[in-house]
Amino acid sequence: MFQRLAVWLVTRGTSQSKRTEETRTKIAKCAESMWKFTYYGTVEFCVLAANYHEPWFTDVKEYFTGWPDQELKLSVKLIYMRQCGFYLYSIAALLTWETGRKDFSVMMSHHIVTVILISYSYMTRFFQIGIVILALHDTSDIFLEDSEDDD
């Protein structure tokens, strides 16, 4: 789905025989950015839907209430598992099959630090602040993928 849309957006009707290697790379990068944009937007919606009505979600003073025995609700556990899994996948994808980009080392560092922060937040039972940070983190990723340039 994303590949076809990327071809249409990048080539604007150019025949397949006239596509250069540079054009093929742009198509691959565009498709990758579109799927990540979709993922981050979906996850952000899920995080907000699952936690928006929690009393601590919009009140900074409540972030640490109940720590170290903050309740781990199923929705929070699923968000943690999904996010940690995604960032572990992202590390593997960067190393193996994603299109090479100038910001490889920055993205690799970003994914490793994110996995460490998610794991640390989970192990130390900082669930409430962890969810808020993930919500902010994913919001910024939506805009980063939307603004991805042709590296």
Average of pLDDT values for 33-51? 89
| Structural domain contains residue 90 | yes
Burial 14-26 (b: 16+ CB within 10 A, else e): eeeeeeeeeeebb
| Structural domain contains residue 6 | no
Q: What is the domain count for the chain?
A: 1
Average of pLDDT values for 16-43? 81
For 127, the domain range is 35-146
Residue 95 CB coordination number (10 Å) = 10
Mean pLDDT of the chain: 84
Residue 40 CA to residue 111 CA, distance in Å, equals 14
pTM: 0.77
